[in-house]
């Protein structure tokens, strides 16, 4: 039980921070190194992968993953936090609008777009989180960032209650609050986010989650049984198998010529490969110009094995 590594997928409830969920997992599983793979706002719910042990080192590889959200936006209200729970800065009338025009406007945000993150967010500028500047009443320049909206589908338009619900698949770093505000401006009446559920991040969906209240009541063994393997989310990387000799070389940092490895699956992402010996995940490597070089080693048990 001492070497516990993997990913547990929590269904984060409203009024919990992502770090609250991490703290519960850490306390139950008894491992210090625990971290989540992407912050969900306190009022948002849904899929929150929590990495335990050495699995915390996969975080940088999940930049490739897209995330899917079900969102509700409220028309005619502009707040400081860009969501319904912030301070109302302005209320605007919502004119009669054609639903087809609304849907076309929302779909117009598909593709690579420029987005300014909310001033109430955990994004750091000059070493401080944006919300720290905002709470202190300090102005700071927030530069726009390129994001990718893979897909948007409008689920419901309720002009009587001034609400629109939609599903969006987007790149990491997308702020749905900012997207709602931008859509509202484009519609001419302003808007803020009033509900958000993350339904998917990478390979994980709501079906993979465990309720955080259930986690609280679990034994350590029960929670360990819920862990996905460390390599489970890395589906966009290729797969390489090594012999015992070459596996030992790999974990000791030696480069492996392509002729000495078996490529089981080609990589679809920047020449990254998951590396295995007898189905044991050893680490992540890059295969460049016919040479496999370790990028991160996750299992070092073969370093001193006599072969």
Domain boundary among 224, 259, 284: 224
Whether 233 is in a domain gets the answer no
Within 5-120, residue ranges assigned H as helices are 18-29, 99-107
Report the C-alpha gap between 212 and 36 in whole angstroms: 14
Other CB atoms within 10 Å distance of the CB of residue 205:
15
User: Catalytic residue positions?
Assistant: 41
Q: Are residues 76 and 51 in the same domain?
A: no
Q: Are residues 16 and 58 in the same domain?
A: yes
The residue whose two tokens read 């912050």 is: 39
Whether 165 is in a domain gets the answer yes
Range of the domain at 148: 66-201
Q: What is the per-residue pLDDT for 120? A: 86
Whether 33 is in a domain gets the answer yes
Q: Are residues 270 and 122 in the same domain?
A: no
Question: What is the tally of structural domains in the chain?
Answer: 3
Other CB atoms within 10 Å distance of the CB of residue 237:
25
Q: Are residues 72 and 181 in the same domain?
A: yes
Whether 303 is in a domain gets the answer no
Whether 254 is in a domain gets the answer yes
Q: What is the CATH number of the domain that holds 244?
A: 2.30.130.10
Q: Are residues 19 and 124 in the same domain?
A: no
Q: Are residues 95 and 172 in the same domain?
A: yes
Q: Are residues 167 and 49 in the same domain?
A: no
Q: Are residues 182 and 71 in the same domain?
A: yes
Whether 229 is in a domain gets the answer no
Q: Are residues 248 and 124 in the same domain?
A: no
Where does residue 113 rank: exposed (0-12), middle (13-18), buried (19+ CB within 10 A)? middle
Q: Are 282 and 248 in contact (CB under 8 A)?
A: no
Residue-wise over 167-176: b if at least 16 C-beta within 10 A, else e? Answer: bbbbbbebbb
Report the C-alpha gap between 229 and 246 in whole angstroms: 23
- Its pTM stands at 0.92
The pLDDT tens digits along the chain (307 residues) read: 458 999 999 999 999 999 999 999 999 999 999 999 988 989 999 999 999 999 999 998 988 889 999 999 999 999 999 999 999 999 999 999 999 999 999 999 999 999 999 998 888 888 888 888 888 888 888 899 999 999 999 999 999 999 999 999 999 999 999 999 999 999 999 999 999 999 999 999 999 999 999 999 999 999 999 999 999 999 999 999 999 999 999 999 999 999 999 999 999 888 999 999 999 999 999 999 999 999 999 987 766 666 6
Domain boundary among 168, 191, 224: 224
Whether 110 is in a domain gets the answer yes
Residue-wise over 271-302: b if at least 16 C-beta within 10 A, else e? Answer: bbbbbbbeeebbbbbebeeeebebbebbbeeb
What's the alpha-carbon Rg for the chain, to the nearest Å?
22
Q: Are residues 81 and 181 in the same domain?
A: yes
Report the C-alpha gap between 155 and 72 in whole angstroms: 10
Per the DSSP assignment, residues forming a β-bridge with 256 are 292
Q: Are residues 29 and 128 in the same domain?
A: no
Cβ neighbours for 178, distance < 8 A, ≥ 6 positions apart: 82, 115, 116, 117, 118
Other CB atoms within 10 Å distance of the CB of residue 270:
11
Q: Are residues 166 and 272 in the same domain?
A: no
The residue whose two tokens read 């139950």 is: 28
Q: What is the CATH number of the domain that holds 97?
A: 3.30.2350.10
Whether 139 is in a domain gets the answer yes
pLDDT in tens, 161-201: 999 999 999 999 999 999 999 999 999 999 999 999 999 99
């Amino acid at each position: 039980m001492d070497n516990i590594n993997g990913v547990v997928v929590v269904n984060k409830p409203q009024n919990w921070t992502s770090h609250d969920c991490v703290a519960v997992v850490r306390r139950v599983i008894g491992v210090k190194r625990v971290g989540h793979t992407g912050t969900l706002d306190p009022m948002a719910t849904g899929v929150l992968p929590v990495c335990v042990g050495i699995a915390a080192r996969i975080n940088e590889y999940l930049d490739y993953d897209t995330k899917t959200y079900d969102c509700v936006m409220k028309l005619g209200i502009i707040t400081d936090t860009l969501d319904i729970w912030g301070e109302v800065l302005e209320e605007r009338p919502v004119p009669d609008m054609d639903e087809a025009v609304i849907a076309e406007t929302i779909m117009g945000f598909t593709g690579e777009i420029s987005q300014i993150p909310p001033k109430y967010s955990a994004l750091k500028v000059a070493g401080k989180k944006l919300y720290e500047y905002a709470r202190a009443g300090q102005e700071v320049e927030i530069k726009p960032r390129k994001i990718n909206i893979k897909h948007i589908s409008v689920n419901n338009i309720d002009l009587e209650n001034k609400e629109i619900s939609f599903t969006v698949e987007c790149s990491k770093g997308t702020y749905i609050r900012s997207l709602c505000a931008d859509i509202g401006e484009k519609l001419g009446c302003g808007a803020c986010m009033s509900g958000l559920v993350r339904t998917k991040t990478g390979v994980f969906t709501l079906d993979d989650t465990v309720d955080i209240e259930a986690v609280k009541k679990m034994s350590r063994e029960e929670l360990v049984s819920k862990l996905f393997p460390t390599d489970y989310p890395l589906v966009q990387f290729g797969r390489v198998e090594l012999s015992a000799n070459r596996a030992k070389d790999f974990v000791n940092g030696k480069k492996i010529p392509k002729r000495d490895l078996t490529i089981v699956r080609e990589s679809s992402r920047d020449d990254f490969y998951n590396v295995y010996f007898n189905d044991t995940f050893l680490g992540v490597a890059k295969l460049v110009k016919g040479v496999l070089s370790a990028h991160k080693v996750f299992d070092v048990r073969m370093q001193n094995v006599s072969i």
